[in-house]
Structure formats: structure tokens, C-alpha cells
Structure 1
């Protein structure tokens, strides 16, 4: 059962290169021009000038991917603005429903038409001929923020409805590719003449620090992890047997790849916006440190979780109609959340797994209240479940990354050892006198590995694992420097020691990171950006 879906793609088209934050054209040409124009508008104009300038720049940014889709972006903005104006005058539920249906219809056509036709053809046993559709950049994010805006206007919880402000709200390039999913009032209310005049050195320094941190995560760590994960998943997609260590190594590499890809992007987006004096909501908070799946979804893609809760889970009834209804709503939300990530049954399975995890987590909380949270059995079970969170999340990534059900099965078979356990001779030397006993006891064979074929790969994996679980995240590192970072300060000694401070040493370190990142980009290191077309 094969399924077309947006997979992590190598940035090998000039258009993709131009719209990605980790490109020389963006960092050395586009961004300096945008900042120069912004400073001129701020110095000699007013906030309306800023709206118009940043919208023009955002439209150019969007058009670099596919110029004809600028008209789609503008048409979407005009339609939703017109509906919002009418909703502000008359709180009409049919009009709100019409606006939502049109937005979802556009999303369904561009993102899900081929998926729907392919599924229908499979049911009927007919041949499937895909429709030639190029997926517009960030269409899911654009759709979601505009649906949220219409609902907010209907609920009287939106900001003022000036058109330049609204147009920029939708097209604002820092969040355009992959979020965060913003609300009009929380972000656009910051675009005022007073706020523009009050942009501080802290905003600029903090923004640059976040951008550099995000670029390092994306270019140096995520892309390195991709070089270890991609070959094995590619072989699994071709139904080639994957050995035990290769399967687990590739899955672990992808687990860290998507972590640093998304974390890096979030840092860059927030940092870019801070250069304009605007704070985007935190979207990523060390999710692999979560002690439960509930906690994981409070930390991973925070604004998507918020959107699904406020605009889907609560309208469905939330937890107001009994336990069974609550669990059904959770599963529906997670299935749709999975489908939101891409037009594939693999994403639906991924969402279904997380829906199952959440139901188990909520059921366990219910039992804890019944039995007593201080019961020894409950404490032991709580600790066990907390240890299972990361493996459970890892397991779900198999389906998120696999291109087909058969590819996922091939990977799972490798993880279970059905395809044998290979160990290169260079690793056998490390075992010394225990080599023969270990090889025979575990039924291992000598062979080459795709993922962990070198000591360098193993060292990278160890360092990245320590990075994820032992170090504070970006916002925590900036918390002492910027008390309004959005996250609580990490009280650990290592966080205080590593905390960012604007000193000569930090300037040298930042310059070094910048040079390393630019050199890696210039060298043409293969780059995959997982969320750029969601």
C-alpha cells in the first residue's frame, strides 16, 4: 500500500533554497534588505509604513518558492478579511461556517486531493493517476491562523481589523514556513509606534543569539543526523532488509533530526521576529524531557496543541460529556492532527498512536486519583511510565518518517531483529576477549552498518543525546539575559553557568558559530527541512 505524502526533502531547487532560513541568499541578501527597509520606515515613517514594507518583503519571500502562489496568498487574505469584517458587523454562524469551509476546501484541494483520489481508487481497485499540484508553501499554517482569526472575530476576542495589519499578520515571513501558529491579538498588538520606538539592544542581541542557536541546531546537528537516518529509511522504503543496529540507529538519528530541525526553526523564527521588536510565542520546550505524553504535547509544537485544543477539542465537547466522550474526542483530535502533518495514512497512524498514548495517560491519571497518588504501586508505575515516554515517542516516528506501510513494517522487523544483528569488525575489536562469546550468544554476524558504520557516527549520537537530555534549551539559556523569554528560569547550576551574557567571550563564540554555519551552508552540505511544506 503506497501513499504519496510530503516527506523531508532535500533543498535542491533554487526556489526552496531561497525560502529556507538556512540559505546564504536569505541570510546575506534578503534579511539585510528587510532590516534596512524596516529601520528606514521606523525612522522616517510610522507603523503603517512598517506594515506595508514587511508585507511586501513577506510576499517576495513567499513568491520565491512559487511566484504564482502569491496570488493565492493575496486572494486568501482578501477573502478572509472580507468575511471577518462581515462577522464583526453581524455575528452570523452560517457566515462563520462558510468562511471555515472555504478555507478547509482550499487546503483539501491543494494538500489532500491526490490522497483522497488515491484512497478511493484503492477501495475500488482502479488505477490512480495523480493530479499535478504543487503544494503551496505553509498552506496549513496560513489556513489555521485565518480560521482561528475568523472564530476570534466571531467571539469578539480579536484585535482591531485594519487591513494592512491583517495582511501582515497572515504573510509575516518569520512564521510563514512552519509556524508558530499565532493569534492576531497576541502578535499584531505589538506593532505600535510606541513599541517600534522602544526596540532595545536586548531585542536585537537576543534575536541574533536565537538565530545563531537555531542555525547551529539545524545546519550542524539536524542535517548531520539526517545523513545517518536517511539511508536506512530509504532502504526500508525499497523493502530492503535492515539489520538490528541499523534500524535502531536510523530511528534514533531521525528522532534527533526532527527534534533539532523543528527546535532550530522555532529559534530562528522567534529570533527573526525579535529583530522587529515582536515576540512570537514559544513553540518548543525540550519535549524529550517530558515525563508523560500529556507533558510531551505541552512541549512539542505548543501552538499547534493550543490550536487543536481551543478550536477542535473544546468545540467537540472536550471533557464535558463523560469519560468515553472525552477519550473519543482525544482520538479524533490526534487523528486529524496527524493528517494535518501530511496527506498519508502513515501520518494518521502516527496521530492514532499518540491518541492511544494520551488516552492511556489520562486513564492512568484517573486511576491515580482513585487509588491514591502516594501509593507505592502508583509511584512505581508513574516512574515506569515516565521512562517509557521517550521510547513510545521514538516508536511513533517510525510511521511519521516511513513512506509506506510496507516500509514501516520493514523498519519494525529490523528493530525486532528479524533481519539479523550485524557488527563491523572495527567494533568487535572493542569487545576484546569477549568478542566470540557476545557474537555467539546474541547470534550476531560480521557485516557493514549503514547508520553506525564509523566511530564518528557513534560519537555524534552520544554527544547529541547528551545535548538533548542534559543541557538547557534556548529560552532557558536566555532567561537570565531576557527575563521575559516566556519560559521559567532553569535553576540548575549548569544552566546558570551556560546562561547567555552579552560579553566579549559570548561575542567571540557567536562569531565562531556564525562562521561555522555559513561555511557549512557554503560547502553545500545536503539539507533536509522537514516542516517547510506542511
Structure 2
């Protein structure tokens, strides 16, 4: 079921909220987990009922593995084998459903002659797999203890964050269900949650889906082998960057808003990444929970032994940097690229960002002493912003393209500098198109991205996310707008919600991250 669908907004969500708060009012708090699990399974089953069984088996298998790890740890017998088998089992299931066809197809290109029926990718398998791996690791570290099966199932498949994150941690999410008085501040939580949801819905249906109208025809033309012009190439690259930005930002807002309606705060997953002045900072603000998962559960465990080896081998400064920073970063971002999808475009997207990050880390290390002495002048900061934005836009072309060849075709259009001389004759004829579509649209989207506060900042008075104090002063906007329960803001919220719902009538489209 899609968040941006009328049945979800007008049927599923009201009934689920009513049932949840009715159980609390009746003093049946012990039943809320079973209720949320059933509701979330119904939400998931609308997409593909047979894969509900896979989701249930994954939850049950990881819960039992968590109990095994916990028991082994308590007995002092060591939980290493249990953890290794649990992680391996999760990765095998993910690998089969997500990558089996990819590897068979590539093997057949080399003449292997293998046959495998097309496997339909289970919705959200990447997200609930990573979330459960984090749970097993946290249990093995002694950071959490397993609870009842219904509590664990709620943690995994709570529908606001099931499909595309954020990737949440048991120790952050579940204690919120056990406050002194669950269901407190119902009116405040419902209001704040609904406003956040409305903003996210507007981003998705009004902005992201509109941007797709400008980007999609150009990428389809590139895939068909057509030559892409300078204007068309940049229109597609910029429009898709806007589409991806507001699509994922919109989903993140809607997830946070929906959870808040139940009195639950989710961690931030998106915080104005295009305002970043470096690729490092960009990834700290884009898909934040995925980046934190990679750092905590993959990067650090990989880098620690490499650092010891570099010390043993007495490598020099830059050789050590290559072994302990550059190489792991590139490798892990290739993995992140594959995590997004089983296609060479995603592999190359990951390779591009891994290379960006390695270069960024090298530059930071090279400039560290100079930066300490003089700081970063404003002109350099503006240049860093521009370089980061251009790097992201070029990588997004590869992310969107149906094949590497199509991405190269769009890139070739973007760098057709020989066409600049002919702009004087082209622009007058195209002026009305540039002003109305997509020029004015892209300018408006750019103003929202670079000048206006993000959703967390608009709702900052109400602590919209977990650990809001850590993010309150990050990525400040030039315009300062703070939502309050006043008549003008209520009217604004109503208009935003109305437009978000009205634009659903153009046709529903999946969130981009639903495919991962």
C-alpha cells in the first residue's frame, strides 16, 4: 500500500489510528503490539500477499536467532557462531531474491548457459534485512535484550518505517511504547504528525512526480540511442535530481509524520543534503540511517584490522591512508550501490560516490593544517558547494539511467560545450518553454532546497525527530519559518494537504526507494 494513495489516507490510516488509541483507552496496552503487527501485515500484503510469508519467516528466524545469541552470551559460551550464522542467513536470503537473476544474466553473457525464472523482488527486503542484522549485532554486544515476539515483530514491520526506512534500532524505538502513559498528548501528536505527513505528501505528489515529467522522456530517449542536446541533458539531470531529492525527502517526512501520530519519534533520515559543502557532509545528511549502519556495522569492523596491519607493516602516511581509508570507502560504496539494486548502473553509482569520498578524505587530510591556521574563506566554501552539487548531479544521472550507455549519452549531452555558441539562436525560440516548463519549476524547487527551512526546522518547536538537539543547528536556512498552531499556519497546512491529495488524482507512483 502506498502512503500517497487515497485508500491509505482515508481508510487504512484512520482505522489503524482509531484501533490503536481505542486499545490504549480501554487499558489493553498489551494488545497494541499484536494490533500493529496485524495492521502492518495488511499494509504490506496489499502489494504482494505471498511475500507476507517471507516477511513473517524472516522476523521469526531473526527473533529465534536473537534468543540464541542472548542465551549464548549469558552462558559465557560466546555468541560469535550464532551471530555469524544469523548474519549469513540474512545475507543469503537477500542475495537470492535481489541478486540471483543479476548474476545469472551476467554469467550467461559469458556463455554459462544458466536458466533461472525471473524473481520478483520482495518489497522492503533490503531495509528489514539490514534492520534485523543491526538487531542481532546489538544483542551480541549486550546493548539490548530480546523482548517478546510481538514487540520484536512491531519493531521490524511497524508500517511507517517498514518499506523504505529509516533503519531504526530496537533500543531507540521500543522504549517509546512503554512510557508512563502511552497515548498522552494525542491531540498534539496527531496535529504535528499530520502537518509533517502533509508536507511529505506535497513533496512527493506535487514536486517529485512533476519533476519526473521533465526527466523521464530524456532518459528514455537516451536509452533508445538518441543524441541528447546540451539543454536536454541538463534538464534531465537537474529534474531528476529534484525528483530524487523530494521523493526521498517526502517519504522520510511521511514516515516520521505517521509514526508521530502514534506518539512515536523516528530518527531523521534526510536533512537538506544538497546544502552540503562536501560529499562527506552530503552523505551525513542523505539516507542518514543507512550511512550510520554502514559506519557502525561495516566500515569500523573493516577498518580496525586494516589499521593494525598498516601499523605492523609500518606504512607511510599516504600508503596507510590508501589501505585504511580510501580502499575501504570505495569498496563499501560499491556495496551500497549494489544494495540499491542489482544493476551495473548502481555499481557504477556506488563506485563514483566511493571515489568522491576517497578524494574528499584525501583533500581534508592534505588541507588539515592549512585549515586550522586560516579557516575556510567564503569564496572557497561557495566553490566547495558548487563542486559537491555538480558531482552529485552527475552521479544521479547514472543512478537514474537504465544502462551505463544511457547515462553516458546524457553526460555527453551535458558537456556539449560546442552548442553554447548556438544558444543565442536557440534560447529566443525556447524562451516560453524555459520560463514555464521546466525553467520556472526548477527555479522554484531550487529556492525550496537552498533557501527555505526543511521540515524538521519548520516543526522544530515540537521536537519532530529523535535526538533533535543534535540536528537543530545543522544546515541552517536563509529563511526562518516556524510552525505554530495559529490560524494562518493552519490554513497553510490545510492547503498543503489539499494539494498533496489533489495531485494524487494525476496517478499514483511508487516512491523511488520502494524499488530497493
- The aligned residue for residue 133 of structure 1 is 119
Contact 1:107 1:139 in 2 (8 A): yes
**Hey, what does 1:280 align to over in structure 2?**
266
Partner residue of 1:89? Answer: 71
Deviations 1:184-230 (A, max 9, x none): 11001111152414234332211011000000100100001011111
TM-score normalised per structure 1: 0.87
Structure 1 match to 2:315: none
State TM-score, norm by structure 2: 0.90
Q: Distance in 2 between matches of 1:159 and 1:64?
A: 33
Kept in 2, the 8 Å contact 1:270–1:279? The answer is yes
In structure 2, the CA distance between the partners of 1:383 and 1:375, relative to structure 1 (3 Å rule), is farther
The answer (yes or no) to whether the contact 1:244–1:421 under 8 Å persists in 2 is yes
Match of 2:454 in 1: 473
In structure 2, the partner of 1:368 is 367
Residue of structure 2 in register with 1:344 after alignment: 343
2:385 is matched with 386
User: Residue 483 of structure 1: CA displacement?
Assistant: 7.6
Pairing 1:116–2:103 present: yes
CA separation of 1:509 and 1:382: change in aligned 2, threshold 3 A? closer
Q: Which residue of the partner structure matches residue 498 of structure 2?
A: 515
Q: Deviations over 1:55-95 (max 9, x none)?
A: 00000011111001111111111111111001001032111
Where does residue 130 of structure 2 map in the other structure? 144
Matched residue, 2:291: 305
Name which of structure 1's ranges 333-342 and 369-378 shifts more when overlaid on structure 2: 369-378
Of the three residues 38, 42, 65, the one matched with 1:56 is: 38
Counterpart contact for 1:421–1:444, Cα < 8 Å: no
Aligned-partner SS, 2:176: coil
How far apart in 1 are the matches of 2:378 and 2:372?
7
> What is the deviation of 1:268?
0.3
- Rounded to whole Å, the distance in 2 between the matches of 1:525 and 1:63 is 21
Render the CA deviation track for 1:10-45: whole Å, top value 9, x for unaligned. xxxxxxxxx110000110111011011111111113
- Alignment match, 1:428: none
- Do the aligned residues in 2 keep the contact of 1:477 with 1:495 (CA within 8 Å)? no
Q: How does 1:6-405 map to 2 (within 5 A)?
A: 19-91=1-73, 92-122=79-109, 124-125=110-111, 131-192=117-178, 194-318=180-304, 320-321=307-308, 322-324=320-322, 325-375=324-374, 383-405=382-404
Unaligned ranges ≥5, structure 2: 74-78, 309-319
2:439 counterpart of 1:458: yes
Deviation, structure 1 residue 385: 2.8
**Alpha-carbon distance between aligned partners in 2 of 1:305 and 1:381, rounded to the nearest angstrom:** 26
SS of the residue 2:266 aligns to: coil
Q: Which runs of 5+ in 1 are unaligned?
A: 1-18, 423-437
- Deviation, structure 1 residue 413: 1.2
Between the aligned partners of 1:344 and 1:491, the Cα distance in structure 2 is 33
Deviations 1:250-300 (A, max 9, x none): 100000100000000000000000111110101000000001111101100
Find the aligned partners of 2:435 and 2:377 in 1 and give their Cα distance: 43
Deviation at 1:128, TM superposition (A): 6.8
Are the aligned partners of 2:102 and 2:342 in contact in 1 as well (CA < 8 Å)? yes
Structure having the larger proportion of residues in helix: 2
Contact 1:244–1:416 (CA<8 Å) still a contact in 2? yes
Residues 115 and 483 from structure 1, CA distance in 2 versus in 1: closer, same or farther, beyond 3 angstroms?
closer
Deviations 1:150-188 (A, max 9, x none): 111000112442211001111110001100001111001
The answer to whether the 8 A contact 2:235-2:438 is kept is: no
Q: Quick check: 1:372–1:378 contact (8 Å CA) kept in 2?
A: no
The alpha-carbon distance between structure 1 residues 412 and 358, as it changes in their structure 2 partners (threshold 3 A), is same
Give the Cα–Cα distance (whole angstroms) in 2 for the partners of residues 100 and 483 of structure 1.
33
Taking the aligned partners of 1:246 and 1:448, their CA distance within structure 2 comes to 15
Distance (Å, rounded) in 1 between the aligned partners of 2:487 and 2:114: 61
Question: Secondary structure in 1 aligned to 2:342?
Answer: coil
Paired residues for 1:488-527 under 5 Å = 488=472, 495-496=479-480, 498-521=481-504, 523-525=505-507, 527=509
Distance across 2 between alignment mates of 1:482 and 1:377? 32
Distance 2:158 2:426 in 1: 54
Cα offset, 1:514, TM superposition: 1.9
Report the more deviating stretch, 190-199 or 134-143.
190-199
**Equivalent pair of 1:223/1:528 in contact (CA under 8 Å):** no
Shift of the alpha carbon at 1:452? 5.4
Give the superposition deviation at 1:526.
Answer: 5.5
Q: In the TM superposition, what is the alpha-carbon distance from 1:369 to its structure 2 partner? A: 2.3
Count residues with an aligned counterpart. Answer: 495
Counterpart-to-counterpart distance in 1, 2:201 and 2:462: 20
Evaluate the alpha carbon distance shift between residue 400 and residue 102 of structure 1 in structure 2; reply closer, same or farther with a 3 A threshold. same
Question: Structure 1's 452 and 69: CA in aligned 2 closer, same or farther, altered over 3 A?
Answer: farther
- Runs ≥4 in structure 1, deviation > 6 angstroms? 376-380, 446-449, 490-493
Contact 1:202–1:482 at 8 Å: present in 2 too?
A: no
Q: 1:345 to 1:278 in 2, by over 3 A?
A: same
Deviation at 1:445, TM superposition (A): 5.3
Distance in 2 between the 1:159 and 1:479 partners? Answer: 32
Contact 1:159–1:184 (Cα < 8 Å) also in 2: no
Structure 2 counterpart SS, 1:37:
helix
Task: Report the CA distance shift for 1:398/1:195 in structure 2 as closer, same or farther (over 3 A).
Answer: farther
